[in-house]
């Protein structure tokens, strides 16, 4: 069994209902954040974190993702003929980003089920899970930070962020205690999915990045469907906790929930402001608005 984290699973088989009507035909993962589909940010993060093999779990109507990461002969030939070398490099760059495999989730039966669909492609080795609608802006890629913790501590690692107030009820929340030697690490003893504010065991909310040991697959296979008939990843991780160490990790960086309309708007504004070619112009435009 390889001890290195070489593979990353991208569950992208969900329906994206929060973004209707845009996601009626277009996969949520293909919605553009400025000029790049949101899943491409995650793929670039994985590659920058040392991941060698990406596994995208797709579903019905999600073919655009496969086309996006493939060669586009007509487009490339046209750009070449027109002498558009910079755009050609952009188009070719996407198709040579990473080694990507696809596996189909026949029905959207939950995040845990989507991860389980990647079992054969992952095999018996630790792996990462990236939820493509969580876009993270960080100096050191979030997944790289997590793999470093995994390598040091040798247990599964869940990315967390501190959520103050009732907003915590939208997340899986960790129970446990802060590590004595590293304030970013949380020694996890349990977790509660979407607790009431009063019942939340901590302020440590799980977000869309995980490094997991392959034991999770057997545990997910034994997990019975919960609310809405879905197999929850958190139920599998709860079972994992009884057998192995699991850590929360407060990553350095800023996360945007781009699968939600408001989160996407926030990401759009902040990413656009950072773009050298029009950031200043956009800033001036925002300042000119009668807010």
By the criterion CB under 6 A, which residues form the site for ligand UTP? 11-19, 28, 57, 105, 108-111, 113-114, 131-133, 259
Q: Which is nearer to ligand UTP, 13 or 176 (CB)?
A: 13
The vertex-21 CA angle with 16 and 22, nearest 5°, equals 70
In whole angstroms, the minimum distance from the beta carbon of 117 to ligand UTP comes to 8
In whole angstroms, the minimum distance from the beta carbon of 122 to ligand UTP comes to 15
Q: Which is nearer to ligand UTP, 110 or 176 (CB)?
A: 110
In whole angstroms, the minimum distance from the beta carbon of 107 to ligand UTP comes to 7
In whole angstroms, the minimum distance from the beta carbon of 4 to ligand UTP comes to 25
Question: How far is residue 211 CA from its own chain's centroid?
Answer: 11
In whole angstroms, the minimum distance from the beta carbon of 68 to ligand UTP comes to 15
Going 171 to 43 to 228 to 26, the CA torsion angle's sign is positive
Of 42, 36, 1, 227, nearest in space to 136 by CA: 42
Coil, strand or helix: which one is 126? coil
Q: Which is nearer to ligand UTP, 46 or 111 (CB)?
A: 111
Structure-derived torsion over alpha carbons of residues 153, 157, 161, 167, reported in degrees to the nearest 10: -140
- Specify whether the CB–CB gap between 236 and 206 falls below 8 A: no
Residue nearest ligand UTP by beta-carbon distance: 14
In whole angstroms, the minimum distance from the beta carbon of 28 to ligand UTP comes to 6
**DSSP string over 178-246:** E-SS-TTEEEEEEEEES--GGG-S-SEEEEEEEEE-THHHHHHHHPPP-GGGPPPHHHHHHHHHTTS-E
Q: Which is nearer to ligand UTP, 109 or 215 (CB)?
A: 109
Q: Which is nearer to ligand UTP, 55 or 111 (CB)?
A: 111
Q: Which is nearer to ligand UTP, 107 or 280 (CB)?
A: 107
């Amino acid at each position: 069994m390889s001890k290195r984290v070489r593979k990353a699973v991208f569950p992208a088989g969900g329906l994206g209902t929060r973004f209707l009507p845009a996601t009626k035909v277009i996969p949520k993962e293909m919605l553009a954040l400025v000029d790049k589909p949101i899943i491409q940010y995650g793929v670039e993060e994985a590659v920058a974190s040392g991941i060698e093999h990406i596994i995208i779990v797709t579903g019905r109507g999600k073919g655009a993702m496969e086309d996006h990461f493939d060669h586009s002969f007509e487009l490339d030939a046209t750009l070449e003929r027109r002498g558009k070398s910079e755009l050609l490099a952009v188009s070719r760059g996407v198709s040579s980003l990473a080694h990507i495999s696809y596996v189909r989730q026949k029905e959207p039966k939950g995040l845990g089920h989507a991860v389980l669909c990647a079992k054969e492609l992952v095999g018996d080795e630790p792996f990462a899970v990236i939820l493509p609608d969580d876009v993270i802006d960080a100096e050191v890629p979030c997944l790289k930070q997590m793999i470093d913790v995994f390598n040091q501590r040798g247990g599964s690692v869940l990315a967390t962020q501190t959520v103050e107030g009732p907003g915590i009820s939208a997340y899986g929340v960790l129970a446990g205690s802060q590590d004595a030697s590293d304030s970013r690490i949380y020694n996890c003893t349990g977790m509660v999915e979407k607790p009431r504010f009063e019942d939340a065991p901590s302020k440590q909310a799980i977000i869309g990045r995980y490094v997991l040991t392959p034991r999770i697959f057997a545990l997910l296979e034994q997990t019975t469907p919960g609310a809405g008939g879905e197999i929850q990843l958190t139920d599998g991780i709860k079972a994992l906790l009884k057998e192995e160490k699991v850590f929360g990790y407060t990553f350095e960086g800023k996360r945007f929930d781009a699968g939600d309309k408001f989160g996407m708007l926030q990401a759009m504004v902040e990413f656009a402001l950072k773009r050298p070619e029009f950031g200043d112009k956009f800033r001036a435009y925002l300042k000119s608005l009668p807010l």
